[in-house]
Structure 1
Amino acid sequence: MPLVIVTGFPSSGKSRRAVELKEYLEKEKEKTVVIVSENAIVGEEKNKILNDSRLEKDLRGNLKADVLRQLNRETVVILDAGNYIKGFRYELYCASKQIKTPHCILHTLSPIDQAWVWNQERPEDERYAKEVFDGLVMRYEAPNSSNRWDSPMFTLLPGDSLPSDPIYEALFLRKPPPPNQSTETQPLSSTNFLYELDRTTQEVTTVIMNSQKILVEGDDIKIPGSTEPVCLGRKVTLGELTRARRQFISYTKLHPVEDTGKLTSLFVQYLNKTLG
């Protein structure tokens, strides 16, 4: 059944909206609904975890694992978390696409000042520390409905009523996106698949870094072995490329492709979607 990805600034009302949607789907539509909650995982360690990049990465891994365990054809899964990284939302979109079930984005768009006031009204052990709150706001990559992994998107201001019926229609009355080569599970027939995956992605990363030294910022970068250039529109850092490469490798290990000659093109497409 469908996946609902809730996203927004810290203390912007994400959990409240997740509960509202759960109650509507259960009472009005008699659906089975599960909320995967970031708060339930971090507990009182919230500020410690969200202030440490390694721990935060582990948190995202745990959230994704919980979603994948729950995601099936019988249950509506609502991911109640910041989900502020667009690459992470893309991974979740691919997961729902592989299972051939629709998804949607629920964006709680609250002013930063209002979110901070709500944060201060929480019990002390549930509040975000100021530096953690500011850091999450600064790193937040807002969803864009023109991206297919951020669409359909329902944006909610603090005083808005939950658009229950439109959300239901998006989740249950439209066809799921068809699987494509990047999400369709393929048999691992190539014995040197992992070697080719590592080599190919490293070569693409190297070409991009070298090209950025001589090209004008925003120029397309031609990649040997790919019919599609890298179109990032800006200069990216080695750290950004390394994270994207690691995410692509992790996903592709679980969903290997039959023809390793297509790895370059798939990685280029992934970079354009997540960093472009």
Structure 2
Amino acid sequence: MPLLMLSGFPSSGKTTRAGQIKDYLESEKGKKVIVVSENEALGEDKNGVFSDSQREKEVRGRLKAEVLRTLNKDDVVILDAANYIKGFRYELYCGSKQYKTTQCLVQCPTPIEEAWNWNLERPEGEQYLREVFDGLVARYEAPNSTNRWDSPMFTVLPGDAPPLEDIYAALFLTKPPPPNQSTQTQPLSSTNFLYELDKSTQEVTSSVMTAQKTATAGEAIRVPGVDEAVCLGRKVTLAELARARRQFITYSKMHPVEDRQKIMLLFVQYLNSTLG
């Protein structure tokens, strides 16, 4: 399934756009469309979820798992969510590459106070609290079409109609990006793999701890031999890195990959998604 992600502030019209695109693809193009909804994943306590970083991560994890579970080459998955963290959008981009399918992003930029007023028009039990709303706006990492994981990107302003034909062309009339090392998981044989897994993750951990001694909080950290930087947005403790390393090793033993450089890249991506 091609993947279409929405992105925008709370109450910026994302669900409306998702419905318009779904109706068009189903009625005009005969496609099957599955909508993975953040609102459904949040349940009735979205203010509580977005006030608790651990619960928020758990919801993102469920959304990602549901999207990846339903991806294939034929139909469409629409992720109706804020998708406000660039690392999360990157993870889903890698997922679509792994499944060799296309993706695009629809951004819904809305003035903050207009979005807040739309929020107040919701039923009382479905409204964001002001402090939660403002917190999500402050944490929003706007998509950038120059990033490969945010491209192709379609910006739909309030009052405008989505460019439905262009969206269809991006999903069905273009070739998906070729999978690369970070999205392929070819098994390695054993003893050598376990040695490289332990050594590579330890090198990344050591690089991060050493760099943090002189880096400012939130500064990107380059790891030798890895193209992608560690971007955590804050300084992390050795205990946090050690715990993430153990979790990554456990997962990697079940999903071994091909070479040392790939292990290090995947571990950097894992740190960005779990600690960022």
Unmatched segments (≥5 aa) in structure 1: none
Q: Does residue 149 of the first structure (1) align with residue 152 of the second (2)?
A: no
Relative distance call for 1:272 and 1:80 in structure 2 (3 A) is closer
Distance 1:219 1:71, change over 3 A: closer
Q: Output the aligned Cα RMSD.
A: 3.4
Q: Which residue of 1 aligns with 2:69?
A: 69
Number of the residue aligned with 1:249:
248
Q: Quick check: 1:183–1:255 contact (8 Å CA) kept in 2?
A: no
The 1:254–1:168 alpha-carbon spacing in structure 2 relative to 1, beyond 3 Å, is farther
Provide closer, same or farther for how the CA distance between residues 100 and 212 of structure 1 changes in structure 2, counting only shifts above 3 A.
same
Residue deviations 1:29-85 (CA, integer Å, cap 9, x gap) = 110001000111222111111211111111011111111121112320000011111
Specify whether residues 185 and 162 from structure 1 end up closer, same or farther in structure 2 by C-alpha distance, changes over 3 A only: same
**1:131 and 2:118 equivalent?**
no
1:101-149 deviation line (CA, Å, top 9, x unaligned)? 0000111100111100000011001111111111111111111111101
1:201 partnered with 2:213: no
Partner residue in 2 for 1:98: 98
In structure 2, do the counterparts of structure 1 residues 176 and 253 end up closer, same or farther at CA, with 3 Å as the change threshold? farther
Query: Map of 1:3-152 to 2, 5 A cutoff?
Result: 3-152=3-152
Distance 1:263 1:234, change over 3 A: closer
Q: Confirm whether residue 174 of structure 1 aligns to residue 174 of structure 2.
A: yes
Give every structure 1 segment of 4 or more consecutive aligned residues whose post-TM-superposition deviation is greater than 6 Å: 215-220, 232-235, 269-275
User: Could you tell me the percent identity over the aligned residues?
Assistant: 60
Q: Which runs of 5+ in 2 are unaligned?
A: none
Distance of 2:158 and 2:104 partners within structure 1: 19
Larger deviation, residues 67-76 vs 24-33: 67-76
Rounded to whole Å, the distance in 1 between the matches of 2:173 and 2:124 is: 42
Cα pair 1:197 1:249 within 8 Å, conserved: no
SS in 1 for 2:174: coil
Q: State the Cα distance separating 1:261 from its structure 2 match.
A: 5.5
Number of aligned residues: 271
Contact kept, 8 Å, 2:181 with 2:262, in 1: the verdict is no
* 2:190 corresponding residue in structure 1: 190
Q: Give the TM-score normalised by structure 2.
A: 0.85
Distance 1:35 1:254, change over 3 A: farther
What secondary structure, in the 3-state scheme, does the structure 1 residue paired with 2:4 have? strand
Contact 1:86 1:274 in 2 (8 A): no
Q: State the 1:209 CA deviation.
A: 3.2
Once the two structures are TM-superposed, the CA of residue 264 in structure 1 deviates from its matched residue by 3.0
- Alignment check: 8 A CA contact 1:102 1:176 kept: yes
What secondary structure does 1:182 align onto?
helix
TM-score, structure 1 normalization: 0.85
- Per-residue CA shift, 1:219-249, capped at 9, x if unaligned? 98562xx2x577679985227x959x66x93
